[in-house]
Structure 1
Amino acid sequence: MPAAPASPSTARAINDRLALRLLQEEGPLTAGQLKKLTGLSRPTVADLVERLQDAGLVRVVGEAGAERRGPNARLYGIVADRAHLAALDVRLRSVSVTVTDLLGAPLAEAAVPIDGDTGTEPAVAQAAALLERAVRDAGATRLHTVGVGAPGLIDPGSGALRDTAQLPAWHRRLVTVLQERLSATVLVENETNLAAVAELRVGAARDRDTFVLLWLGHGVGAAVVLDGALRRGASGGAGEIGFLPVPGTAGLPSATDCGGGFHALAGSAAIRALAREHGIEVPGRDGEGEPAGALAVRTALETGADAFLDGLAARLALGAAAVSAVLDPGRVVLGGEIGHAGGPALASRVEARLTELSPLRTEVRASALGGAAVLRGALLTARDAAQDDLFTPPAPRAPR
């Protein structure tokens, strides 16, 4: 049975959203360009442009061409300052924030370290003050949505950061405080999932709709994207690959300790120990600042320490092979500070080793965004939510 034709109001809503998406992706456009890109008639385009202007979503931002003047040359663009967005990357010992307009143009950026000995309330106060200062510096008087990326699991029912003894208490408290203090919508998501969103949209997986991001930082994690959608699992724990039992560890992981799992091979401390076995010493202490494993990988690439890099690739391929066997994603992206430090050189070694372990063809690529991926993903999530709200097509005007 053929589908019923769309009602006039539904057709208007579809046309308006299409025009807004084109203005977002292509930049300012004339009515003629909108007509060409949408395939709509000239009167329909003129009507939707007037509707969107009346709703405060679109305005004239200039003219196209030096010779043609008048209505046909007007350039229409989205009103970017109609709303402001913020994104936070909450790490174990630091917080980074960016504030942008509705289209994602940066207006202010800031970061603050948070010492591991800082109490819960002082840590929350530092992080909240950082956001408030960045908002003031940006002149963002219309803060609409805040995206927060944090380690830990997100409860799929409530969307809240789940309590865990392995993470600082101030992480969970910060989200609650922001939700209480801000009139803006506050969205929280696992940091690895946000990194995958960013790689899907603007990074190493932008040409794919199915892939797995393997996050390599102080710890390890994974994010699963299938058919363009992020998969969180029944309890929000999809991608807890640190608990994956693998050969080569001293034991097995437990429900409360991933020490016997893949983490024992691919966490930063384990990579640093592997580097030491190959005569590579790196300064610093794991858990503070940049993962020591990232520095070890960069040092190995600079000095040509092939044995260490091959050994690391063999370890990473174990986790990638398990993921590939279950999901057959076609591509694994090595993210986090260590994946970014290794770049294409490490990714190609992992792919070569993975080819020996799995009959399934799986490409391995390095992150295109590195440590910026979480913040970028949080901003994209905030922008999508704000635009879904603000770009709701206006009701039709009363007949004149």
Structure 2
Amino acid sequence: MRAGSPRTLREMNDRAAIEALLRNGPLTRAELEAAIGLSKPATAQLLTRLEQENLVGKAGERAGGGRGPRAQLWAVNGGLAHVAAVDLTPQVADFVVADVAGAVLAEYRVQLPVAEDADVVGSFGQALRRVAKAAGLQLDDLANVVIGAQGAFDPRTGLLSSAPHIPGWLGFNVPKRLSDELGVTVKIENDVNLVAVEEMTVGNAQDVDDFVLVWLSEGVGGAVVIGRRLLRGATGGGGEIDWMRVPDAATVDTGDRWPQAGARFGNLVDSAAITRLAKAHGISADSGWDAVTQARRGAHQGFLDDLARRVASGVASLVAVADPQLILLCGETSRAGGDEFAAVVAEKLHELVLPRTPVGVASVQGNAVRAGALQSALATAREDVFGVVTPTLLGPRRSAGELAPSPTE
């Protein structure tokens, strides 16, 4: 193996140090030394060099044990770049602005118009300016903005689809229009894909290369991760599991009459379908998660078994093709079922496929869509500022010239 040049090794060490500081937050010299495996003199020289380049700076002190001296803390210079992330739903748009180190500077929640004739771009820009101002910034101070939306995004055209709940955002090249009118780079991503990003970053998929995320809530969604990268597909439809055709494995008659080709997976396990299944089992519920909660409290195992059979029937197709290391259930219905329901799904799944793929529940709390959008925005900014590449969070970059024009442009 040929040794690298001094400059190459220095750059590698610098990136390793910055990655450690971004991952762990402020560290002492000794802690950084242990994290990146350099000697004490080499780490001291590295910190001096990065401080001179304004990439890192002193960040207070950490108290030592007993009466010993306090140790100097070092941190990445978060002010080198700023990003914004948004969870866009018909009910509320949830904004956050952070510096490149990940420190949250401002948050803002507002209901934006989403009707077909609404000025969605203007309203979005107004809200973004407000949260940027609250963070002490202008729009052009933002390195990039990532939006999470309930729908499929086609990177070739910039169009959203499968999003009838936000009709005002359909029919135009969303990232191009927003980027052009706001003067800041804007990207849009499927909301469940962003939940997968957050789960890879801080959740139960941190140490997993290949996994599938199944979102069970009012509607149904999914994300497929292969080799620590999101599978987006040629048209952005990767992971749209609600369109899979599967048989109804329930043991009771819910009154539904599915096509001969099978039911849409989304029509079997969305909230409305689960409440009908619950009713057939003698449970009156207002939502899918309410039905699951009642079933667990009342020991309605027949209902939980039938629901698990439906979920497993869809997941089995994914396991047969992708053979992932892990299936993670998320969304309100999955949270209501918890580990107990995940275990039942695993049992039914293992009756259908050979791999003994574990089934668990996603662990991220709070607004995982916004959190995943923030992680994605930070990954891009950190690559641009520090040269730190995070393949877990970055999909293939496409230049503006690679995007086909929108039908309305």
Pick the TM interval, shorter chain: 0.7 to 0.9
In structure 2, distance between residues paired with 1:354 and 1:151 = 27
Q: 1:374 aligns with which of 369, 374, 377?
A: 369
SS in 1 for 2:101: coil
Deviations 1:7-36 (A, max 9, x none): 222222111100101112222223333333
Indicate the residue corresponding to 2:145 in structure 1. Answer: 146
1:61-95 CA-to-partner distances (Å, cap 9, x unmatched) read: 1234456669xx43211122332221111224432
Q: Which residue in 1 is equivalent to 2:128?
A: 131
Q: Do 1:343 and 1:367's aligned partners in 2 also have CA atoms closer than 8 Å?
A: no
Q: Deviations over 1:209-263 (max 9, x none)?
A: 211001223322221112222222233222222221111261157xxxxx93112
Change (3 A) 1:282 1:106: farther
**Distance in structure 2 (CA, Å) of the matches to 1:68 and 1:50:** 24
- Matches of 1:83 and 1:201 in 2, distance apart? 20
User: d(CA) in 1 for partners of 2:28 and 2:329?
Assistant: 41
2:56 paired residue number: 58
Give the whole-Å Cα distance in 1 for the aligned partners of 2:122 and 2:273.
34
Distance 1:38 1:379, change over 3 A: same
Alpha-carbon offset, residue 390 of structure 1: 1.2
Matched, 1:179 2:179: yes
Structure 2 gaps of 5+ residues are 249-256, 389-409
**Partner SS for 1:154:** strand
Q: Please show how residues 157-196 of structure 1 align to structure 2 within 5 Å.
A: 157=156, 160-163=158-161, 166=164, 168-172=166-170, 175-196=175-196
* CA pair 341-109 structure 1, distance change in 2 beyond 3 A: farther
Residue 114 of structure 1: how far off its partner (Å):
4.8
Matched letter for residue 231 of structure 2? R
The residue correspondences of 1:277-316 to structure 2 (distance < 5 A) are 277-283=280-286, 292-316=287-311
Q: In the TM superposition, what is the alpha-carbon distance from 1:163 to its structure 2 partner? A: 4.7
* CA contact 1:63–1:69 (8 Å) conserved in 2: no
In structure 1, the gaps of 5 or more residues are 254-258, 284-291, 394-400
Residue matched to 2:398: none
Cα separation, 1, equivalents of 2:300 and 2:121: 42
Shift of residue 58, structure 1, vs aligned partner: 0.6
Return the letter of the residue paired with 1:276. K
| CA distance in structure 2 between the aligned counterparts of 1:145 and 1:64, rounded to whole angstroms | 33
Counterpart of 2:85 (choices 84, 87, 105) is 87
Letter in 2 for 1:299: Q
- Relative to 1, partners in 2 of residues 1:303 and 1:123: Cα closer, same or farther, differing over 3 Å? farther
The answer to whether residue 327 in structure 2 is matched with residue 332 in structure 1 is yes
Distance 1:376 1:311, change over 3 A: same
Q: Letter of the aligned partner of 1:113 in structure 2?
A: Q
Offset at residue 154 of structure 1 (A):
2.8
Q: Give runs of aligned pairs for residues 1-12 of structure 1, distance below 5 A.
A: 2=1, 4-12=2-10
SS of the aligned residue for 2:154 comes to coil
Describe the shift of the 1:337–1:177 C-alpha distance in structure 2 as closer, same or farther (beyond 3 A).
farther
Q: Equivalent residue of 2:235, what SS? A: coil
SS in 2 for 1:63: strand
Q: 1:339: how far off?
A: 1.9
C-alpha deviations, 1:286-328, integer Å up to 9, x for none?
A: xxxxxx3233323333443333222211110111111111111
How far is the alpha carbon of 1:177 from its aligned partner? Answer: 4.4
User: Contact 1:156/1:235 (CA < 8 Å) preserved in 2?
Assistant: yes
Contact 1:161 1:189 in 2 (8 A): no
Greater Cα offset, 373-382 or 303-312: 303-312
1:397 is matched with none
What is the aligned partner in structure 2 of residue 398 from structure 1? none
Q: Which residue, out of 339, 342, 351, partners 1:347?
A: 342
Cα shift at 1:161:
3.9
Aligned-residue CA RMSD (Å): 2.7
- What is the alpha-carbon distance in structure 2 between the residues aligned to residue 96 and residue 365 of structure 1? 27
Alpha carbons of structure 1 residues 100 and 114: separation in structure 2 relative to 1, 3 Å? same
Deviation for aligned residue 1:371: 6.4
Task: Give the whole-Å Cα distance in 2 for the aligned partners of 1:85 and 1:18.
Answer: 22
User: Is 2:74 the partner of 1:76?
Assistant: yes
Report the CA distance shift for 1:211/1:11 in structure 2 as closer, same or farther (over 3 A). same
Distance 1:11 1:195 in 2: 35
Shift, 1:334, TM fit: 0.8
Distance in 1, matches of 2:301 and 2:127, equals 42
- Per the normalisation by structure 2, the TM-score is 0.82
For the 8 Å contact 1:336–1:371, the answer to whether it is kept is no
Aligned CA distance change for structure 1 residues 262 and 181 (closer, same or farther; 3 Å): same
Secondary structure, aligned partner of 2:23: helix
Q: Which residue is 2:259 aligned to?
A: 251
Counterpart for residue 379 of structure 2:
384
Task: Tell me what 1:204 maps to.
Answer: 204
The answer to whether the 8 Å contact 2:153/2:161 transfers is no
Structure 1 residue 43: deviation in Å? 4.2
Is the Cα contact below 8 Å between 1:90 and 1:171 reproduced in 2? no
Normalising by structure 1, we get a TM-score of 0.84
CA distance in 2, matches of 1:126, 1:298: 38
CA distance in 1, matches of 2:197, 2:163: 27
Q: 1:177 to 1:136 in 2, by over 3 A?
A: farther
Question: 1:267 — aligned with what?
Answer: 270
Q: CA deviation at 1:41?
A: 3.7
Pick closer, same or farther for the CA change 1:151–1:127 going to 2, 3 Å. same
